[in-house]
Structure 1
């Protein structure tokens, strides 16, 4: 595609650490020693990052969430996308607006004929709060995830807007930080102004498939005891059918997916300063020790440490906005 870097040209892969790799050879040196990233990816900067990601049909991207805002423009490919428990069929020109702590991932990449290429802009949550002091409406429309499709006649304009941010972040020419912030604010302004105008439609979540029915069931019963046996009985299928479906589509087991969704929800609860034992019970964990071990394994820190970290960020941004 025109103006889209190739994998050898500093393109990033989503299943790698957030560090620039100059070539596919460098990527090959680290990918086999790397722990799979399920939930969090840290930003490089404390303000705005911008990347281009390239995923072939043998790529594996696990369900994850981020502590920052993420804006994705689909440049190529048509993956199924799992966003906050709902399935969407993406295509070129789709824009995903993903707020912090929302679970998401593309699925069934092995079914794609073409690589899934996207330009991604990430905005630090604390920085966004500071920005809101001067531009109150900058992210007010993005409290919940949104999926939009750009009309074909406007796709070139929107792709260039995202690609400009990516190039500024990669090339780091003099003044790039200010340029990147300014361009991102302009992009957000265009997005807000164009809602309902340049968008052909808001793609509706897919319904009717067995996978989507099971995912919706899990979303509505995270606080309950969810077992493979009971789920198979509920949907009148065998346990092996569900096991194969989750392995093929999400590359995780049924129980792993349920745990990941509960842990993502736990992060949101932890920002609300709720008691840890209450969070554990509310999300269907058998006891606090089980919750603690799962959380620490996934995030590299215990729930209490994570909660203190979030409090520190909140108090810092609150002091800044109250000045």
Structure 2
């Protein structure tokens, strides 16, 4: 991961912006942090380290791949279990005023905030695919905040909203298993299933078995509504997941099997056709700072 995206650790506990602030921290030595609270929402996205995070006196064991939301007014502090391990995380601060404006656009933006406030649930787990997608959005956001490109402010706002909506959708769908909902159109149910099982077999036979319909019906329902074949859709989703994983620092030599490709040569050809560069070229462009955010 690019070091120029990192932020030096600060003990500051107030926002300089009226809306949001985003940071990428990578520390090995940290001072003890006293219990404190904020007037804003604080998201933690854990990449590496071993800690308990105490919220209103209750310890929460947080592991790499988890994200955590601390609402305004909640007392909290970290307890480091292995001080020798790097402590890597993203931190997003979101003001109450910004959340209120998001609510005016759609209450879908604040499902997660309401859940944390009412159910007192703070820690949320993700799989590798979802967390790589989160990291990809965050890295694009941080890069955009440091850029001087035309449309920067509009793009930053879009990226923040995209991240918040992604997290809300992720937790909502974890709490509402809608694949069995007969009111959901077949092709949408298939899309959800594919997104959640990119690392598994996704043959037409497998999907027909999962959804209790014929292969013919699945193929036509999907093509009629999505405009591309089921195979093309699965391929694009897997390539997108691989791209996120590459930009998050995962080894190219490992990701093609992790996301459903049987051999490197077929993965290489499909990736270069989709993005115009090879997987290793994409990684090198990102590390060298020559890859523009999309």
**TM-score of the aligned structures, taking structure 2 as reference length:** 0.52
Aligned partner of 1:141 in structure 2 is 112
How far residue 198 of structure 1 moved from its aligned partner, in angstroms, is: 6.5
**Residue 123 (structure 1) aligned to one of 94, 104, 108:** 94
| Post-superposition offset of 1:79 | 1.2
Q: Name the SS of the counterpart of 1:46 in structure 2.
A: coil
Distance 1:4 1:48, change over 3 A: same
Q: Give CA deviations for 1:244-288 in whole Å, capped at 9, x if unaligned.
A: xxxxxxxxxxxxxxxxxxxxxxxxxxxxxxxxxxxxxxxxxxxxx
> Could you tell me which residue of structure 2 aligns to residue 112 of structure 1?
83
Aligned residue for 1:141, secondary structure, equals helix
**1:256-275, aligned counterparts within 5 Å?**
none
In the alignment, does 2:58 pair up with 1:86? yes
**8 Å CA contact 1:76, 1:118 repeated in 2:** yes
Match of 2:133 in 1: 157
* Mapped contact 2:111–2:172 kept (Cα < 8 A): no
User: Cα distance, 1:98 vs. partner?
Assistant: 1.7
The alignment covers a number of residue pairs equal to: 170
User: 2 CA distance for matches of 1:167 and 1:138?
Assistant: 23
Where in structure 1 are there 5+ consecutive unaligned residues? Answer: 18-40, 200-323
Q: Give the alignment's TM-score, normalised by structure 1.
A: 0.47
Matched, 1:11 2:7: yes
Q: Distance in 1 between matches of 2:79 and 2:70?
A: 17
Query: What's the C-alpha RMSD, in Å, of the aligned pairs?
Result: 2.4
* Cα shift at 1:81: 1.1
Name the CA distance, whole Å, in 1 between partners of 2:27 and 2:88: 6
**1:198–1:168 Cα change, 3 Å:** farther
8 Å contact from structure 2 (residues 108, 165) kept in 1: no
More helix by share: 2
How is 1:177-192 mapped onto 2 (pairs within 5 angstroms)? 177-192=153-168
Superposed counterparts of 1:60-75, under 5 Å? 60-75=32-47
Matched with 2:75 is 103
